[in-house]
């Protein structure tokens, strides 16, 4: 089997789908293919350098990692060559022929089938290697994994339409990608154009990117062709801040974080002391399109370097989970190069870096919150629910994190979270000592909750919490700046002496109605009381101080958990027409029984609950109106 016939294989169906989308959606920013391919070449060089620490033979005597770009006007090709890690045949099939990246899978799952929306999505998601097909009608890839024989190279070729060929070939270590440019893509055959693009998108790449030296005049034309480095070719984070422009940071972010949005903000620092390290941390603008982002298993985007050598993605070791949206790099001078994930977990220096990075991140958020409110709002709407986890997770920074939280409230417009706890405290009513909040499963249910009525009418602000995580967060947030938190739906509401007197009166007056309700509702309720919360609604359901919110109980049951159902406490508003009417009906009439059930069901509905028998509720309502 010496002359092997190239094998023709089909791309995975998903790859075809991605390819089609990419080529159709990127024509307005075609040039990003260059950034993508250079980024891959740089990753490949990083990987080789890392593997060569444990296995120096992999370098094959060629330690000068580099990326070379060549144009050939006659052949109409643009070639990118790296002497990085390279790929085996299986790796080529796996990395290029299938959708190996979980990100790609999730991207495909999120496709809507609506071409316009999907095109917008791909911009967020990025396209990597496949962007080559935006400008090329054929792509040839030649690769050889470091450490394998020269004859074990791989030759891969495709026109990007469903199939590719793959065969064994002689190859140098690393990967060469040859783009056979489409007829209309002449611009990428112009060396100056390519240089400009490298300057624009890839200057921050830490390895030299080289091109043939431009020749001027005839004398020089006779000379041997010479390569020159066209990028800055040093790790961006090692360069002085004063030398770096916003564009440099922005370009670097996209490469280092494999991200496609713009960074919202960054913080670049050098620490010297008992240990030295440099960190460059970014806040993204957009949450990853899959909100399964809360899945803690897949954390990427914070790269650990040791003395300029890329070691691994170590977000999990270097940042607490509630800051997992942070992207960037950390470069340590002191950790041993042969560090493993397990060692990282326990290393004292790593623990110090971790708390240092936590502090830097919180500092950055503080300064955004103080000076760039709009940016902070963008951040919070994308990642606020992740940050909230810190309340339970990071005891030592709890107060700082609480300060950074934003909520919707009865004194702000709409569902957007804009009110800070400091805002709330600054405008507390006279004599108010508590931070009031309500939890529900939607903004509407929270904002319209009957439990708020009395507080609202007294001008007391209530924070509206309606994200899933809020119930959990509020369980861990008992105090801020010396003020206690109270859920308006739980326990007794403390009244002033005057109000207490009035309520005792009302309770006495309403005694017959209360006992009637207790009788008619039986074990459907645990107790019936006159409410200090209501001014407009007929009734509401109230929980004990430590009881789980009703919408949470529903969620947990839906998730298959066994949550014992306890009959609720019903609080009534004796001033309400329905309640008064109940008092007027003959005790044993169907009307009275109907009214009692309607009052209870209304309380359930207002809380966001579902009725056991909605048809019966409607029948009773209609009978009442008719």
Point out which residues bind Mg ion (CB under 5 A). 40, 128
To ligand ADP, the closest distance from the beta carbon of 175 in angstroms equals 4
40 touches ligand ADP by CB under 6 A: yes
- Residue range at the interface with ligand ADP (CB under 6 A); choices 14-22, 77-85, 191-199, 602-610: 77-85
To ligand ADP, the closest distance from the beta carbon of 83 in angstroms equals 10
Residue 490 DSSP symbol: B
82 touches ligand ADP by CB under 6 A: yes
Contacts of 473 (CB under 8 A, 6+ apart): 388, 389, 391, 392, 465
**Structural contact between residues 599 and 573, judged by C-beta atoms closer than 8 angstroms:** no
To ligand ADP, the closest distance from the beta carbon of 174 in angstroms equals 7
| Residue in 101, 105, 427, 484 binding ligand ADP, rule: CB under 6 A | 101
State the Cα–Cα distance between residues 490 and 451, nearest whole angstrom. 9
To ligand ADP, the closest distance from the beta carbon of 33 in angstroms equals 10
Q: Could you say which of ligand ADP, Mg ion, none residue 46 binds, taking C-beta under 5 to 8 angstroms by partner kind?
A: none
Q: Angle, to 10 degrees, between the axis of helix 577-584 and the axis of helix 511-521? A: 80
State the Cα–Cα distance between residues 177 and 167, nearest whole angstrom. 15
**Best CA proximity match to 490, nearest among 421, 526, 541, 552:** 541
To Mg ion, the closest distance from the beta carbon of 39 in angstroms equals 5
96 touches ligand ADP by CB under 6 A: yes
Q: Could you say which of Mg ion, ligand ADP, none residue 41 binds, taking C-beta under 5 to 8 angstroms by partner kind?
A: ligand ADP
**Best CA proximity match to 247, nearest among 194, 195, 204:** 204
The DSSP annotation for 125-155 comes to: H--GGGGHHHHEEEEEEEEE-TTS-GGGEEE
To ligand ADP, the closest distance from the beta carbon of 178 in angstroms equals 12
CA-based radius of gyration for the chain: 32
**Structural contact between residues 199 and 228, judged by C-beta atoms closer than 8 angstroms:** no
List the x/- string, 168-187, binding to ligand ADP by CB under 6 A. Answer: -------x------------
To Mg ion, the closest distance from the beta carbon of 187 in angstroms equals 23
Q: Could you say which of ligand ADP, Mg ion, none residue 101 binds, taking C-beta under 5 to 8 angstroms by partner kind?
A: ligand ADP
85 vs 209 by CB, closer to ligand ADP:
85
Number of residues near ligand ADP (by CB under 6 A): 16
129 vs 485 by CB, closer to ligand ADP:
129
- Residue range at the interface with ligand ADP (CB under 6 A); choices 78-86, 116-124, 220-228, 384-392: 78-86
- Other CB atoms within a 10 A radius of the CB of residue 374 amount to 8
| Residue in 79, 88, 95, 321 binding ligand ADP, rule: CB under 6 A | 95
- Residue range at the interface with ligand ADP (CB under 6 A); choices 50-58, 84-92, 290-298, 603-611: 84-92
**Best CA proximity match to 366, nearest among 391, 395, 392, 402:** 402
List the x/- string, 235-274, binding to ligand ADP by CB under 6 A. Answer: -----------------------x----------------
Instruction: Using alpha carbons, list the distances in angstroms from residue 219 to 165, 192, 212, 222.
Output: 44, 21, 16, 6
Q: Where in 124-143 is the site for ligand ADP (CB under 6 A)?
A: 128-129
| Residue in 26, 44, 387, 592 binding ligand ADP, rule: CB under 6 A | 44
Contacts of 269 (CB under 8 A, 6+ apart): 278, 279, 280, 360
45 vs 402 by CB, closer to ligand ADP:
45
Q: Could you say which of ligand ADP, Mg ion, none residue 96 binds, taking C-beta under 5 to 8 angstroms by partner kind?
A: ligand ADP
To ligand ADP, the closest distance from the beta carbon of 389 in angstroms equals 27
**Signed CA dihedral, 580, 581, 586, 590: sign only:** negative
- Residue range at the interface with ligand ADP (CB under 6 A); choices 36-44, 106-114, 248-256, 567-575: 36-44
Q: Which tokens sit at 583?
A: 């008092």
100 vs 621 by CB, closer to ligand ADP:
100
The DSSP annotation for 306-356 comes to: ETTEEEEE-HHHHS-GGGTT-EEEEEESSS-TT--HHHHHH-HHHHHHHHH
The residue nearest ligand ADP at its CB is 128
Contacts of 178 (CB under 8 A, 6+ apart): 77, 78, 79, 139, 140, 141, 142
197 vs 405 by CB, closer to Mg ion:
197
- Residue range at the interface with ligand ADP (CB under 6 A); choices 95-103, 315-323, 386-394, 400-408: 95-103
State the Cα–Cα distance between residues 227 and 242, nearest whole angstrom. 30
Phi, psi of 490 (to 5 degrees): -120, 140
520 touches ligand ADP by CB under 6 A: no
82 vs 594 by CB, closer to ligand ADP:
82
82 vs 441 by CB, closer to ligand ADP:
82
Q: Could you say which of Mg ion, ligand ADP, none residue 470 binds, taking C-beta under 5 to 8 angstroms by partner kind?
A: none
Q: Could you say which of ligand ADP, Mg ion, none residue 331 binds, taking C-beta under 5 to 8 angstroms by partner kind?
A: none
State the Cα–Cα distance between residues 457 and 406, nearest whole angstrom. 23
Contacts of 392 (CB under 8 A, 6+ apart): 472, 473, 475, 476
State the Cα–Cα distance between residues 440 and 466, nearest whole angstrom. 5
Q: Where in 334-373 is the site for ligand ADP (CB under 6 A)?
A: none
40 vs 59 by CB, closer to ligand ADP:
40
22 vs 463 by CB, closer to ligand ADP:
22
To ligand ADP, the closest distance from the beta carbon of 48 in angstroms equals 9
485 touches ligand ADP by CB under 6 A: no
State the Cα–Cα distance between residues 585 and 577, nearest whole angstrom. 12
Place of tokens 């396209």: 127
Place of tokens 């290697």: 129
**Structural contact between residues 138 and 176, judged by C-beta atoms closer than 8 angstroms:** no
**369: number of CA atoms within 13 Å, CB side?**
23
| Residue in 36, 68, 453, 470 binding ligand ADP, rule: CB under 6 A | 36
The DSSP annotation for 606-624 comes to: HTT---S-HHHHHHHHHHH
Place of tokens 């507390």: 428
| Residue in 26, 34, 41, 550 binding ligand ADP, rule: CB under 6 A | 41
**Signed CA dihedral, 440, 445, 449, 452: sign only:** positive
| Residue numbers at the binding site for ligand ADP (CB under 6 A) | 36, 40-41, 44, 82, 84-87, 95-96, 101, 128-129, 175, 258
């Amino acid at each position: 089997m010496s002359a092997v016939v190239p094998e023709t294989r089909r791309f995975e169906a998903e790859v075809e789908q991605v390819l089609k989308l990419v080529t159709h959606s990127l024509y307005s920013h075609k040039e990003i293919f260059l950034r993508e391919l250079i980024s891959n070449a740089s990753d490949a060089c990083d990987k080789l350098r890392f593997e060569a620490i444990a296995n120096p033979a992999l370098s094959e005597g060629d330690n000068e990692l580099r990326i070379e770009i060549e144009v050939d006007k006659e052949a109409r090709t643009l070639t990118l060559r790296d002497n990085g890690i390279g790929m085996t045949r299986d790796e080529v099939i796996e990395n290029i022929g299938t959708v190996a990246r979980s990100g790609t899978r999730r991207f495909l799952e999120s496709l809507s089938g609506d071409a316009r929306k999907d095109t917008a999505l791909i911009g967020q998601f990025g396209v990597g290697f496949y962007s080559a097909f935006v400008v090329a009608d054929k792509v040839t890839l030649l690769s050889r994994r470091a450490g394998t024989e020269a004859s074990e190279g791989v030759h891969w070729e495709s026109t990007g339409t469903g199939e590719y060929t793959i065969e064994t070939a002689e190859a140098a270590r690393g990967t060469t990608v040859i783009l056979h440019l489409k007829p209309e893509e002449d611009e990428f055959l112009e060396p100056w154009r390519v240089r400009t693009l490298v300057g624009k998108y890839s200057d921050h790449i830490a390895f030299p990117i080289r091109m043939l030296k431009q020749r001027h005049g005839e004398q020089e034309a006779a000379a041997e062709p010479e390569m020159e480095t066209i990028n800055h070719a040093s790790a961006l984070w090692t360069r002085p801040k004063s030398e770096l422009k916003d564009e440099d940071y922005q370009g670097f972010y996209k490469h280092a974080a494999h991200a496609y949005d713009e960074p919202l903000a960054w913080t670049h620092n050098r620490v010297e002391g008992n240990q030295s390290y440099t960190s460059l941390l970014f806040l993204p603008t957009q949450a990853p399109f899959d909100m399964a982002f809360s899945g803690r298993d897949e954390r990427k985007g914070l790269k650990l370097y040791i003395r300029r050598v890329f070691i691994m993605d170590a977000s999990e070791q270097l940042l607490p989970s509630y800051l997992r949206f942070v992207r960037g790099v950390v470069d340590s001078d002191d950790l041993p190069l042969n560090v493993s994930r397990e060692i990282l977990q326990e290393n004292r220096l790593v623990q110090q870096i971790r708390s240092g990075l936590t502090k830097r991140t919180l500092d950055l958020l503080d300064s955004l919150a103080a000076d760039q409110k709009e940016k902070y709002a963008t951040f919070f709407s994308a990642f606020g629910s992740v940050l909230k986890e810190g309340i339970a997770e990071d005891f030592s920074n709890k107060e700082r994190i609480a300060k950074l939280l934003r909520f919707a409230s009865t004194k702000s417009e709409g569902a957007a979270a804009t009110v800070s706890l400091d805002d709330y405290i600054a405008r507390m009513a006279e004599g108010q000592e508590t931070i009031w909040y309500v939890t529900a499963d939607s903004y509407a249910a929270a904002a319209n909750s009957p439990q708020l009525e009395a507080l609202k009418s007294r001008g007391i602000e209530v924070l509206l919490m309606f994200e899933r995580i809020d119930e959990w967060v509020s369980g861990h947030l008992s105090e801020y700046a010396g003020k206690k938190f109270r859920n308006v739906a739980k326990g007794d509401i403390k009244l002033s002496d005057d109000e207490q007197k009035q309520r005792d009166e009302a309770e006495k007056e309403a005694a017959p109605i209360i006992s009637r309700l207790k009788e008619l509702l039986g074990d459907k309720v645990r107790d019936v009381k006159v409410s200090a919360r209501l001014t407009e609604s007929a009734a509401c359901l109230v929980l004990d101080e430590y009881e789980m919110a009703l919408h949470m109980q529903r969620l947990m049951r839906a998730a298959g958990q066994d949550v014992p159902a306890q009959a609720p406490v019903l609080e009534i508003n004796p001033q309400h027409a329905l309640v008064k009417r109940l008092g007027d009906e003959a005790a044993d009439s169907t009307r009275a029984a109907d009214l009692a059930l309607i009052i209870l069901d209304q309380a359930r509905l207002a809380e966001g609950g579902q009725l056991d028998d909605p048809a019966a509720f409607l029948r009773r309502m209609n009978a009442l109106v008719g």
